[in-house]
Amino acid sequence: MRLLFIGDIVGRTGRAALLDRLPELRRDWALDFVVVNGENAAGGFGITEAICDEMLDAGADCVTLGNHAWDQKEALVFIERQPRLIRPINYPAGTPGRGAYLFEAQTGARVLVMNAMGRVFMDPLDDPFAAVERELEACPLGMGCDAVVVDMHAETTSEKYAMGHFCDGRASLVVGTHTHVPTADAQILPGGTAYQTDAGMTGDYDSVIGMDKREPLQRFTRKIAQGRFEPASGEATLCGVAVDIDERTGLAFAVAPVRLGGRLAPALPDFWG
C-alpha cells in the first residue's frame, strides 16, 4: 500500500500548494491513501468546512487536526457530520467529532487513522498514550485493519519518539506534526513502524513557522504585540512523508521525506520511481 502523509497546511499559500500538487501526486505515485493535517489551513488557525471539502475533493482521504482544531468555531458543528475530519483522540469525553476512524482505501484495504495531541508544553488533555492504546486494542493491525496511521501532534521530540516506540509493531506509520519544520530522521523502527518526528508544514518557509515574519519578530525583540499573526504569502513547500506498507503485515518496508517546491531542498521517495 502506498501512503502519503502531508504536513500542516498553513494558510492560503499552503492550501494552494496542496490543491495544485495532490491530484498529480495521486496519479503519478499511484497513491492508495492520503492523510493531510489541516489544523492551520484557515488563515493559519483552524479549518472551515469549505476548506476541508476542498482538500478532500483534491484527493485527501482524511484530514487531521491539532491544538487549533476549534479556532474556527464552525468546526465544532460540521465535524459531527464529516467523519473524514479527525480531531485529537485525547480530548475529554463529550468533545464533538472523533479522534479515530476506520477508512477504506482505494484498494479496499482498511486504514485506521488516529490523531493524538501531546501534553508537554501543550494543553493538559487526557493521556494520549492511553487513548491510542484503547484504539490499538479495539482495532489491532492485521485483524481489525490493514494499516494504522498515528498523527502525533506534539511540541517535544521526546514525546513524539515515545509514541513511535509505544506503537512500534502495532502501527504502519507514526508521524509528528505541529512544529512546522521537517525533521531528518525518517526511519523504520525495529518492530516495523515507519516514523518521522515531524512531517513539516506545507507553507511558506520564508517565515516564522509559516507566519509573516514582522509580527513574530516584533514580539520576540520588543515583547509588544502590534497585530495579529498572519500567514506568510510566498511560494509554499509541500512537505510530508511517503510510506510503502506491506499488505500482508501492515508494517512499513520503506519510508522517505517529501519536499516539493518553495525554498527547501527537494526530496522525493526513490522507491516509487
Name the residues annotated as catalytic.
Answer: 68
Burial classification of residue 154, based on how many CB atoms lie within 10 Å of its CB (0-12 exposed, 13-18 middle, 19 or more buried): buried
For 214: left if phi > 0, alpha if psi spans -120 to 50, otherwise beta; the answer is alpha
Interatomic CA distance for residues 114 and 98, integer angstroms: 9
CA 255 → CA 3, 103, 252, distances in Å? 10, 21, 7
For 180: left if phi > 0, alpha if psi spans -120 to 50, otherwise beta; the answer is left
What is the rounded end-to-end Cα distance, in angstroms, of the chain?
A: 15
Residue 20 CB neighbours (<10 A): 14
Q: Which stretches of the chain are DSSP H helices?
A: 11-28, 49-58, 75-78, 128-138, 157-167, 214-222
Grid cell, residue 208, equals 516564522
